[in-house]
Amino acid sequence: MFDRVIVVDWSAANLPTSPTNRANAIWIGCHDAEGGAEWHHRTRAAAEAQLVTLLDTARADGLRVLVGFDFAMGYPAGFAARLTGGDTRALWAWLAERITDAPDNRNNRFAVAAAINATFPEGPGPFWSHPTGQSWPGLPYRRKGIDYAALGLAETRAAEAAVRGAKSPWMLFNPGSVGSQSLLGLPMIHRLAQRPDTTVWPFDAPDAPVVLAEVYPSLLAGPVAILANAEGLPADQAQVRLLARALYRLAQRDRLAPLFSTPDIAREEGWILGANHAPLLAEALTWA
């Protein structure tokens, strides 16, 4: 059982959001026996700092915590080994060494993606998409022309196939993309995973005092839309509030086990907590 659930809606913004632009900020939602709370941050550095504080406080109080992040924890099978010669953890470390992410959100994610693409002599890709008007040699603007079979990779993970609307982590820009969030989020996962009381599911069993996992808040798209409209909230704030609440209520009723069941490939690619269980998450919101 988890005593507290934290859900993080991450961002790949290249500059800090304005103080009043809460819609595009990073949102952290938390739910426990005392209820829920949300915070927004203009930068990734500030968000990570608060996460560390929240985890330190929870552990000092003897609480067990589940933390969900809305970006891919891994890539299609074979990618980590091809790039690093190791497993998914080696990939996190590889990215942590190469991604630069300044306190003001300026980062080199497109340059890193282009450098990764250059290691594939079979053809363009696997990463693609960037802002209009920019040019990144070796990083295609469109998906067309990338032959994933020739690269020896799949275009999506098994997790994306299980969740309607989920995008491939290869896609770095445009609505719904998660690729940039992953490139900028996985170095943080590498750092958090160094904590002695922390594991990352599904690469580890979800039995540590702190468990990090991948989530997809849009599994609760209907309830989120209703709440955001009723209270005038940014959609991202509504998402972290409701998903943290649903997962916490499932934990209190010992109903989380089905969400932690995954196919074998998830041990390499990662998995979305709650994939195939959207109705159960929505049901949990109706419980007192």
Give the residue from 237, 243, 198, 189 showing the smallest Cα distance to 216: 243
Q: What are the residue boundaries of the structural domains of the chain, listed by start?
A: 4-72+182-284, 79-174
pLDDT tens digit string along 174-214? Answer: 888 999 999 999 999 999 999 999 999 999 999 999 999 99
Q: Distance of CA 177 to CAs 66, 70, 131, 181, Å?
A: 24, 11, 12, 8
pLDDT tens digit string along 209-248? Answer: 999 999 999 999 999 999 999 999 999 999 999 999 999 9
Q: Are 70 and 216 in contact (CB under 8 A)?
A: yes
Does the pLDDT value for residue 18 go beyond 80?
A: no
**Per CATH, domain 4-72+182-284 is 3.30.420:** yes
pTM value? 0.97
Residue labelled with tokens 């450098």: 115
pLDDT tens digit string along 150-171? Answer: 999 999 999 999 999 999 999 9
Q: What is the pLDDT of residue 176?
A: 83
Burial of 68 (C-beta count, 10 Å sphere; 0-12/13-18/19+)? buried
Determine the Cα–Cα distance for residues 99 and 43; give it in Å rounded to an integer. Answer: 16
